[in-house]
Homo-oligomer: A and B are copies of this chain.
Amino acid sequence: MNYLAKILVFPREGVLDTQGKAVGKALGRIGFSSVKDVKIGKYIQVNLEAKDEKEAETAAEEMCRELLVNDLVEDHSIRIERIVL
């Protein structure tokens, strides 16, 4: 079966998010004074084949550990969705 692993990767709490800070300042400068803080991360969507949701999630976790996420400075969350054609 086909699954979509929707993976969010974002800077860990306490790690300086320079991109987020820059965008936050830029938003303030163009008039969005209500903005207090911005964090920027990656959104990775993996279309994969697996026999069930559990297997898809295990595979996605492994991908994060081996390639997609730098655990030292990044945190991640995974949501699995079945693709129904």
Contacts and interface: CB of A to CB of B under 8 A. Distances in A.
Interface of A: 2, 8-10, 20, 23-24, 26-27, 30, 32, 34-50, 59, 62-63, 66-68
A-side interface mostly: strand
Given A30-B66, A37-B47, A41-B43, 10 more contacts: A23-B68, A27-B46, A30-B67, A32-B63, A34-B50, A35-B46, A39-B47, A40-B43, A41-B42, A42-B42
Integer count of this chain's copies in the complex: 2
Contacts of A20: 45
A26 B62 CA distance: 14
Contacts of A48: 32, 34-36
